[in-house]
């Protein structure tokens, strides 16, 4: 079986550290490891429209912003095919046939969709487009015979839905599609990075994000206003590390070299945590440490991004070439799909 990787993001805003640890890092690893037949990264603008249909311009503008983030972190257009979902119209056709294989009740049970519906204001009635986006996501995956889908854990219900549709399709029309497999981030703290406010999730709408494009001063200010342990008032007080955002971030971002470089009095994070728990370690010191680590991570990304942003025409050229290629593949697979279904009138 071919190894075809496919993933994507809804272009609704710049990417932040939650995206970085939750999905971009894994993509970089996969790119680095090589040994795949194809690697597609899709700008899911059509899917973004399912809850931004009144704001097409925002989605359009963010196609460029997200592409800049992708390239700035190191995704390489020579190794990855980038494409725009709405420019591959075959995907809509796949979606239409798959809709026959899914019930309304099944869509309403999708936990991620349910969660999103709680946060959105659709004035009590759900647009069909939004409810059926998991079906269109199945189209995104299967139109390219993708086998490996690197995503955050919130996307597991989408992959499960895709697998069900694949099975139904194959049962009904003969073996045509392959069941995709999700690949999650390696570390559970990365599944859903908490926000700088300690909230459950780093999310644009909650305003608790550190962006990959943030200036040094913004990062510093966000780190220094992070939520720690509200009962750790004096330096000598014993502190809690569980639920302490600074330590959660250190769990995710600190490496042994960072201790050598910035806190040589401690061998590793366990020692730092032990000191904090005992008392005698101030919040200032741990925040300074985290700030240094995040500055080191983000500075090169931000600078590369600024360079890339000077020539947006180059970015659109990459997208154009990638989209043409994606469209060819999706078209060929659509013909196969329709042929297996028996919808072929003229040959
Ligand atoms: N649902 C994904 C998100 O919200 C984006 C997406 C659309 C996607 N189609 C996909 C991810 C196919 C993986 C595979 O970020």
Give the per-residue pLDDT at 6. Answer: 98
Q: Is the CB of 301 under 6 A from ligand 1?
A: no
- In this structure, of 78-87, 109-118, 191-200, 308-317, the range with the lowest mean pLDDT score is 191-200
Q: What strands lie across the sheet with 4-9, from one edge to the other?
A: 81-84, 38-43, 4-9, 148-150, 181-183
Say how many C-beta atoms besides its own lie within 10 A of residue 53's C-beta.
Answer: 12
Give the per-residue pLDDT at 185. Answer: 85
Instruction: State in Å: Cα 141 to ligand 1 middle.
Output: 9
Give the residue, out of 47, 138, 156, with the most ligand 1 atoms within 8 A of its beta carbon, to mutate for a pocket test: 47
pLDDT digits (tens, 9 = 90+) for 140-166: 999 999 999 999 888 999 999 999 999
Domains of the chain are 4-193+312-341 (3.40.50.620), 216-306 (1.10.240.10)
Q: Is the CB of 26 under 6 A from ligand 1?
A: no
Helix (H, G, I), strand (E, B) or coil at 83: strand
Question: From the alpha carbon of 47, which atom of ligand 1 is closest?
Answer: 7
Strand partners, 136: none
Give the per-residue pLDDT at 250. Answer: 97
pLDDT digits (tens, 9 = 90+) for 250-285: 999 999 999 999 999 999 999 999 999 999 999 999
Give the per-residue pLDDT at 153. Answer: 86
Instruction: State in Å: Cα 119 to ligand 1 middle.
Output: 18
Residue with CA nearest ligand 1 atom 15: 9
Q: Is the CB of 10 under 6 A from ligand 1?
A: yes
Give the per-residue pLDDT at 207. Answer: 87
Percent of the chain with pLDDT over 70: 100
Share the mean pLDDT of the chain. Answer: 95
Q: How far is CA 152 from CA 96, 111, 138, 182, 191, in A?
A: 26, 14, 16, 9, 6
Q: Is the CB of 9 under 6 A from ligand 1?
A: yes
Helix and strand totals (H; E) in the chain: 17, 5
Band (245; pLDDT cuts 50, 70, 90): very high
Helix (H, G, I), strand (E, B) or coil at 38: strand
pLDDT digits (tens, 9 = 90+) for 80-139: 999 999 999 999 999 999 999 999 999 999 999 999 998 887 877 899 999 999 999 999
Question: From the alpha carbon of 152, which atom of ligand 1 is closest?
Answer: 15
Instruction: State in Å: Cα 88 to ligand 1 middle.
Output: 15
Q: Quickly list DSSP for 153-222.
A: GGGHHHHHHHHHHHHHHHHHH-S-----EEE--SSHHHHTPPPTTS-SS--GGGT---BTT--HHHHHHH
Q: Is the CB of 19 under 6 A from ligand 1?
A: no
d(C-alpha 43, C-alpha 63), whole Å:
6
Q: Is the CB of 248 under 6 A from ligand 1?
A: no
Band (187; pLDDT cuts 50, 70, 90): confident
Give the per-residue pLDDT at 190. Answer: 73
d(C-alpha 196, C-alpha 222), whole Å:
7
pLDDT digits (tens, 9 = 90+) for 18-53: 999 999 999 999 999 999 999 999 999 999 999 999
């Amino acid at each position: 079986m071919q190894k075809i990787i496919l993933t994507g993001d809804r272009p609704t805003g710049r990417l932040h550290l939650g995206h970085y640890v939750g999905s971009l890092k894994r993509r970089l690893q996969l790119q680095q490891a090589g040994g795949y037949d194809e690697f597609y990264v899709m700008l899911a603008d059509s899917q973004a429209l399912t809850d931004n249909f009144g704001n097409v311009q925002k989605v359009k503008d963010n196609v460029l912003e997200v592409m800049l983030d992708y390239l700035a972190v190191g995704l390489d257009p020579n190794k990855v095919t980038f494409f725009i979902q709405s420019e591959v119209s075959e995907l809509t056709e796949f979606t239409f046939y798959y809709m026959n294989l899914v019930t309304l009740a099944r869509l309403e049970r999708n936990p991620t969709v349910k969660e999103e519906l709680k946060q959105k204001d659709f004035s009590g009635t759900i647009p069909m487009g939004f409810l059926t986006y998991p079906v269109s996501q199945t189209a995104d995956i299967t139109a390219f015979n993708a086998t490996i889908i690197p995503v955050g854990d919130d996307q597991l219900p989408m992959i499960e839905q895709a697998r069900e549709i694949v099975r139904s399709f194959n049962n009904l029309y003969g073996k045509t599609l392959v069941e995709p497999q999700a690949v999650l981030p390696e570390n559970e703290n990365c599944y859903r990075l908490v926000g700088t406010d300690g909230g459950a999730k780093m999310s644009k709408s909650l305003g608790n994000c550190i962006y990959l494009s943030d200036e040094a001063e913004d990062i510093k200010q966000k780190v220094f206003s992070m939520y720690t342990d509200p009962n750790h008032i004096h330096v000598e007080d014993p502190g809690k590390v569980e639920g302490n955002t600074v330590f959660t971030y250190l769990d995710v971002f600190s490496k042994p070299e960072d201790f050598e470089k910035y806190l040589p009095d401690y061998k590793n994070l366990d020692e730092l945590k032990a000191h904090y728990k005992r008392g005698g370690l101030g919040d200032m010191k741990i925040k300074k440490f985290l700030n240094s680590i995040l500055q080191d991570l983000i500075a090169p990304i931000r600078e590369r991004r600024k360079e890339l942003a000077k020539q947006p025409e180059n970015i659109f050229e990459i997208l154009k070439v990638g989209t043409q290629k994606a469209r060819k593949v999706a078209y060929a697979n659509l013909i196969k799909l329709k042929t297996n279904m028996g919808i072929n009138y003229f040959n």
